Amino acid sequence: MTAGFIQDELQALKSASLYRQLRHVAGDQGSTLMVDGREVLNFSSNNYLGLANHPALGKAAINAIERYGCGSGASRLISGNMTLHEELEIKLARLKGTQAALVFNSGFQANTGIIPTLVGVGDVVFSDALNHASIIDGCRLSRAKIVVYRHCDVDQLEDGLKDAPHSSRKLIVTESLFSMDGDEAPLKQIVELSEKYDAMTMVDEAHATGVYEPDGAGLISRLGLGERVLVQMGTLGKALGGFGAYIAGRAALRELLINRCRSFIFTTSLPPAVMAMAIAAIELIRREPERRRALRNNCARVRDGLLRLGYSLGDSRSQILPLMIGDANHCMRLSERLLEHGVFAQGIRPPTVPPGTSRLRITLMATHTSEQIDRALELFASVH
C-alpha cells in the first residue's frame, strides 16, 4: 500500500483551514511565554492557579526523585504501586470527601478506560454533545449504545432515559465545567434524573478541580452532590499544575477499576516526582485560597471587558472564555494577529468544537496582573 493518502489528507486539512502545527514554547508556563521566539502574554494555558511553575512543586519533585528514584519501574499491579501513589490517593479522597481515589496516567486514559469498565454491549451511555474527545472515545470503546443529548439539555436526556431498556445498565457522562465553552452542566438535575431512572453518573471535573470555592474540590463538591455521583473524575495537569488524573468515589468502584480498567492495568504507573507534585499542589490549594479568589477576580474583569467590547462569550462565567468567531479561517487569522501583537489566545477549530463555532479560547490565571489584563483588553479591542 502506498502512503500517498498522507499528502492528500494534509492538503485537504490546509484547504479547509484545519491544518495544525506545533508552536514552540520556551520558558515556564507563567503569565508571559516565549512562543516561536516572541515574548507574549499567556492567555492560553490551563495553569489556572499558577501552580505549574510554582517552586513548591519543583522542590517536591526533586525530593521525590532523590528519595524514590526517577521511574516507577512497572504498572501499578506489578511493582509500580509506590508509596507516593497511595499517599496521593489518600489525599485526593480527603479533598473530595470520598471513601477512595485512584490515580490514572492521564485524563484521556481515565475516560477511555473507565467508561468501558462500567458499560458494554447491551447497555446505554448518555453523553453531552460537547463532551471531550476522551469521553467520546471512551463511549465508543465501550460498545454500549451511545445516546448523545443536546448540550446541557436535561429534557432530551430524560427522553432518552425513558426510552432505554429497563434491563440495561445506564450511564450518564458529562463534564462539570466544559473545556471549550466554560459553562457548567446542570449537575443537580442530571443527578436527579440518574436517580429517577436508575442510571449511573460520571462527571469529568478536568477544568473544575482546584478552581471552585470553597476548597478547590470541584463543582460536584460545591453543589454537595458528592454522595450521589458514582464517578468523580478530574485531572492533575490543569489547575493542579502537574500531570495525570484521578477518580474519586466508593472503595468498591476503586476495586473494580483496579481489576477491570484496561487503561489503568496495562500501563507503567506515573513516576514518583509526578505524584509528589500533585501532593504539593493539593496542599497549596488548601493553604492558599487567595489563588482561587484572584482567579475569580481576573475572570470577572476580563469577562466584563470583553462584553463591553461587544464580544459574545456564550454562557461562560468561568476562567474559560470562548470568544466566539465562527469561521475557522477568520478565527486562526485573528489568533495570529493577536500573537504578533503580544497576546497568545489560541484559536480552536473543528473537530475540537462543532463546525461554525470556531473561537479564541481565552483562559485566565490567578497570576495575571492588572497591567497584563489591561494590555490584553486593549489588543482585543484593536482587532475587533
133 or 252, CB closer to ligand PLP?
133
| Active-site residue, selected from the candidate residues 179, 221, 269, 358 | 179
x/- track of binding to ligand PLP for residues 218-237 (CB under 6 A): -----------------x-x
Are the CB atoms for 361 and 345 separated by under 8 Å?
yes
Catalytic residue among 238, 269, 316, 368: 238
Q: Which is nearer to ligand PLP, 5 or 266 (CB)?
A: 266
Told to judge if 179 belongs to the known catalytic residues of this protein, a careful annotator would answer yes
Annotate each residue in 140-179 with x if it binds ligand PLP (CB under 6 A) or - if it does not, as one string: -----------------------------------x---x
* 107 forms part of the interface with ligand PLP (CB under 6 A): yes
Largest Cα–Cα separation, the chain: 59
Among 95, 208, 239, 245, binds ligand PLP (CB under 6 A): 245
207 is catalytic: yes
Told to check if 204 binds ligand PLP by CB under 6 A, we report yes
* Nearest approach, Cβ of residue 237 and ligand PLP (Å): 5
Neighbours of 366 (CB within 10 A): 24
89 binds ligand PLP (CB under 6 A): no
Number of residues binding to ligand PLP, judged by CB under 6 A? 14
| Selected catalytic residue, list 207, 269, 335, 368 | 207
**By the 8 A CB rule, do 364 and 43 touch?**
yes
* Residue 92 engages ligand PLP in binding (rule: CB under 6 A): no
CB of 182 to ligand PLP, least distance (A): 11
Binding flag, residue 123, ligand PLP (CB under 6 A) = no
Task: State yes or no: residue 181 binds ligand PLP (CB under 6 A).
Answer: no
Output the CA torsion 332→338→339→341 (10° steps): 150
**Is residue 312 flagged as an active site residue?**
no
Burial 187-205 (b: 16+ CB within 10 A, else e): beebbebbeebebbbbbbb
| Distance of closest approach, residue 334 Cβ to ligand PLP, in angstroms | 22
CB of 135 to ligand PLP, least distance (A): 7
Q: Is 359 in the site for ligand PLP (CB under 6 A)?
A: no
Nearer to ligand PLP, 96 or 132 (CB): 132
Smallest distance, ligand PLP to C-beta of residue 151, A: 14
For residue 214, is the peptide bond before it cis, meaning its omega torsion is within 30 degrees of 0?
yes
In terms of CB distance, is 64 or 278 closer to ligand PLP? 278
Candidate segments 48-56, 107-115, 249-257, 279-287, binder of ligand PLP by CB under 6 A = 107-115
Please state whether beta strands 320-326 and 245-249 pair in parallel, antiparallel, or not at all (unpaired).
Answer: unpaired
DSSP class per residue in 243-287: --EEEEE-HHHHHHHHHH-HHHHSSBPPPHHHHHHHHHHHHHHHH
Q: Kindly tell me which residue out of 54, 76, 132, 368 binds ligand PLP, with binding defined by CB under 6 A.
A: 132
Distance between CA atoms of residues 25 and 167, nearest Å = 52
Torsion angle, CA of 67/68/69/70, rounded to 10 degrees?
-120
Query: Would you say 336 and 164 are in contact if contact means Cβ atoms under 8 Å apart?
Result: no
**101 C-beta neighbours (distance < 10 Å), count:** 23
* 206 part of the interface to ligand PLP, by CB under 6 A: yes
Sheet of strand 38-42: strand arrangement: 25-26, 32-35, 38-42, 343-344
134 binds ligand PLP (CB under 6 A): yes
Instruction: Read off the DSSP letter of residue 29.
Output: S
Distance CA 26, CA 38 (A): 9
Is the Cβ of residue 211 or residue 373 nearer to ligand PLP in the bound state? 211
Contact (CB, 8 A) for 190 and 147? no
Residues that bind ligand PLP (CB under 6 A): 106-108, 111, 132, 134, 175, 179, 204, 206-207, 235, 237, 245
Could you list the active site residues? 179, 207, 238
